[in-house]
Amino acid sequence: MKILVCISSVPDTTTKITFTNDNAQFNSTGVQFIVNPYDEIALARAIELSEGGKGTVTVINVGEAETDPTIRKALATGADDAVRVNAKPRDAWFVAHQIAKYAKENNFDLILTGRESIDYNGTQVAGFVGELMNIPSVSIAKKIEVQDQTALVDREVEGGKEVLSISLPCIIGVAEGVAESRIPNMRGIMSARTKPLQVIEAVEVAELSSVTKFETPQPRGEVTLIAANEPEKLVELLHSKSHVI
C-alpha cells in the first residue's frame, strides 16, 4: 500500500505572532517552525499502517527551501521518502492543486493529512484534493483501519460519531486520537540525512483569494478574584459588570 502524507510547516505553538507590511504579512523573523501537530498524527498512523512491509510512506510539503528541516524531521520520524513542491503555499486552493497533481501521477492508495493546520485553521485541503482527484474525502477522522482495499473510518460529528466504509483510493483529514505522535530517535535522525527528498516545481493555479489584513485578538482583561465563601458577590458582578445575567 502506497501512502502519501501531506505535511505543512507551521510556527511553533509558543510563538508570539506579529505582522508586517501594514498587518498584511506574517512576520517570520526569529520564528521556529515545526511539523503541523495534526499532520504529525497523520504521519504516525501512516507509519503504523505500513509497518511490517505492508506499505511505504511518502510525505509531501508545499514550501520553499526553508521548510527542508521540517521535512527532514518527518523523514526521521519514519517516512520513506519526501517531496517538496518549490513554492510559497499562498492558500489551500493552491496547495491542494500541487498535492493532487503529484498524487495523480504516482497512484497512491491512501492520502492522509491533518484535519487542519494550526496557523490558518482552514480545514480545506483534504476536501479540495478529493474534489480535484475525484476520490472520496473525509475529515475529522478519529480512527482509521485498512482492510484489503477499504478504509474503515470513525468520524466525529455533532453529538456522536459516524462509522464509514470507504473504497481506496481516498483522502482522510486526521484528528487527535488516531495515533500518538512519534519523536524521532537518533537512528531515525541519522537515516533522514540520506533518505530521498525530491524537489519539484509548482503548477500554475489561478489566484482566487488573497489576504488583505491580519488582526490579533484583543488582550485579555483583568481578572477579578472572588472568595469561595462569597458567591453572592460573584452573582452581583456577573449582573452589574459582565452583564451575562
pLDDT tens for each residue of the chain, 245 residues long: 999 999 999 999 888 888 988 898 888 888 899 999 999 999 999 999 999 999 999 999 999 999 999 999 999 999 999 999 999 998 999 999 999 999 999 999 999 999 999 888 888 999 999 999 999 999 999 999 999 899 999 998 888 889 999 999 999 999 999 999 998 889 899 999 999 999 999 999 998 888 889 888 888 778 888 899 998 998 998 888 878 88
User: Which of 152-175 are b and which e, b meaning 16 or more Cβ less than 10 Å from the residue's Cβ?
Assistant: ebbbbeeeeeeebebebbbbbbbb
Query: Residue 162: which H helix or E strand, with range?
Result: strand 160-167
pLDDT of residue 180: 92
Q: Counting beta carbons within 10 angstroms of the beta carbon of residue 205, is it exposed (0 to 12), middle (13 to 18) or buried (19 or more)?
A: middle
> Which of 32, 15, 17, 78 shows the shortest CA–CA distance to 216?
17
In angstroms, what CA-CA distances link 143 with 132, 151, 164, 233? 24, 10, 10, 46
CB 237 within 8 A of CB 243: no
What number of other Cβ atoms are within 10 A of residue 120's Cβ? 15
Q: Look up the CATH architecture of domain 2-217.
A: 3-Layer(aba) Sandwich (3.40)
Q: For residue 169, is the peptide bond before it cis, meaning its omega torsion is within 30 degrees of 0?
A: yes
pLDDT of residue 14: 87
pLDDT of residue 216: 83
Q: Name the region of 11 (left: φ>0; alpha: ψ -120 to 50; beta: rest).
A: beta
Q: Counting beta carbons within 10 angstroms of the beta carbon of residue 19, is it exposed (0 to 12), middle (13 to 18) or buried (19 or more)?
A: middle
Cα–Cα distance between 171 and 110 in angstroms, integer? 6
pTM of the model: 0.86
3-class DSSP assignment, residue 218: coil
Residue that is written with C-alpha cell 504579512 in the block: 25
pLDDT of residue 210: 83
Cα–Cα distance between 227 and 242 in angstroms, integer? 18
